[in-house]
Amino acid sequence: MHLLADPVVDWNQLLDVIWAALLGGIAVPGAFAIALFGAVRATDARRNGALGLAVGYWTLMAVAMTLVLASIVFGVIVMTSKD
C-alpha cells in the first residue's frame, strides 16, 4: 500500500535528513557536554590532588572532543561530496 503522498515525497530522502539531523544535533552536542564534564571534573580533581582521577577525566575530555571535531569534519566532507 502506498502512502497518499508517495509519488510526490521522497520518503527515503526525508528519512535520511531526519536520522542525520537527530544524530548530528543530539550526539555531537552530547559529546561536547561530556567533553566539558571531563574538563571541569579534571580541573576539580587536580585541585584536590587526585592526579590519577584528573588524568582519567582529561582522557574522557580528549576522546569526546575528538569525536565532536571528527563528526564536524565528516559532516563537511559528506556535504562537499556529490552523490
Asked if 39 touches other proteins (CB under 8 A), the answer is yes
Asked if 70 touches other proteins (CB under 8 A), the answer is no
Asked if 54 touches other proteins (CB under 8 A), the answer is no
Which amino acid makes up residue 69? Answer: L
The rounded Cα 51 to chain-centroid distance in angstroms is: 28
Contacting other proteins (CB under 8 A), which of 3, 4, 7, 52?
Answer: 7
Count Cβ neighbours within 10 Å for each residue of 41-69 and write b for 16 or more, e otherwise: bbeebeeeeeeeebeebbebbeebbebbe
Residues in contact with other proteins by the rule CB under 8 A: 5, 7-10, 13-14, 16-18, 20-26, 28-30, 32-34, 36-37, 39-41, 43-44, 68, 72, 75-76, 78-80
